[in-house]
Amino acid sequence: MKPTERFSDRVESYVKFRPSYPTELIELLAAEAGNADRKICADIGSGTGILTELLLSRFNKVFAVEPNTKMRSYAEKSLAQYPNFVSITADAENTTLATDSVDLITVAQAFHWFDRPKFLLECRRILKPIGYVALIWNKRITDTPFLEIYESLLKTYATDYNEINHQKVTVEQIAEFFAGGYRKVVFPNSQLFDLPGVYGRLDSSSFAPKQDKPEFDIMRSELKKAFDEFSDAGMISFNYETELYLGKP
C-alpha cells in the first residue's frame, strides 16, 4: 500500500483517537517564526488537520498540504470556518507552493513516509531565507504495565508494525536533513481512554488488524484483560513524548 493511501479507511478513528499536540509546542513554533505581520506556515502531510487547527490560531496563513483525498476532505470540512486555512492537494516532495513563501514548515507524524532527498530540496525552495522546519512526532512510551502489554501485542499481531517501526527516522538521518543545524525539544503528552477508546486508538493505526482478520478479535480480547487489570476508575492512560526537531534544512 502506498504511504499516501494507508489511512484512507481509518479517517474516523484517526480523528477521534489520535493525540493532539501540547500548547507549549505551538507557542514555541509561533515564536520561532518571528513577529512578522504575515507569518505563513506550511503543514506538510497535514492529514485530517490535527496540528493544522492548532497552528491556525498563531499564523496568518496555514497551507495544509495533503495528498490523501479522504483525510484532506475531512480537514477541509472541519476547518472551513478559518479564513486563514488553505487546503493544498499535493505531495510533500512537490507542494506547488511558491518559492521563498513560508516562514515555517511543519511535519507531524509523516516525515518517515517522505522521499527525504526530494523533500529536502522542496523545503529549501519554499522556505524564506530565515525560515525553519519542524519535524514532530507523538511517540508512545511504554512506562506502565498496560502500555508494555499494548506494545507487545502490536509486535505480535499488528499487520506490519515491525516493518513500519524499522522505517522510523534515525538521529543520523535527522542530522543529515538539518544541514544548517537543529535542536530537539521534548514535551510530555497523554490521553485517557475507556475500553472502547483503547480499541479506537488501536484502530486509528494503519497497521492495526482489520475486522475480517483473526488477529482483530485476539487483540481485543487481550487488551480487555489488560484493561480490566490495570485501569483506574474505568480509564487508562496512553503516554507520549512529543518530540520536536527544529532547524534549518
CA 32 – CA 37 distance, rounded (Å): 14
Instruction: Give the pLDDT of the chain (249 residues) as one tens digit per residue.
Output: 444 444 445 577 778 999 999 999 999 999 988 766 679 999 999 999 999 999 999 999 999 999 999 999 999 999 999 999 999 999 999 999 999 999 999 999 999 889 999 999 999 999 999 999 999 999 999 999 999 999 999 999 887 776 665 457 889 999 999 999 999 999 999 999 999 999 999 988 878 888 888 989 999 999 999 999 999 999 999 999 999 999 999
Q: Torsion-angle region of residue 96: left (phi > 0), alpha (psi -120 to 50) or beta?
A: left
- Is 178 strand, coil or helix? coil
Amino acid at 183: R
Burial environment of residue 116 by CB neighbours within 10 A (0 to 12, 13 to 18, 19 or more): middle
Give me the pLDDT at residue 167, please. 52
Give me the pLDDT at residue 212, please. 84
Cβ neighbours for 139, distance < 8 A, ≥ 6 positions apart: 240, 241, 242, 243
Please, are residues 242 and 187 in contact by the beta-carbon 8 Å criterion?
yes
Give me the pLDDT at residue 132, please. 95
In this prediction the pTM is 0.90
* Residue of 21, 26, 73 lying closest to 47 (CA atoms): 73
Give me the pLDDT at residue 213, please. 87
CA 178 – CA 172 distance, rounded (Å): 10
CA 53 – CA 62 distance, rounded (Å): 9
Where are the domains positioned within the chain?
3-142+167-191+240-247
Give me the pLDDT at residue 9, please. 52
Please, are residues 97 and 123 in contact by the beta-carbon 8 Å criterion?
no
70, containing H or E segment: helix 69-78
Top-tier CATH class for 3-142+167-191+240-247: alpha beta
* Residue of 242, 165, 158, 244 lying closest to 201 (CA atoms): 158
Separation in Å, CA 217 to CA 109, 158, 160, 221, 246: 27, 12, 17, 6, 41
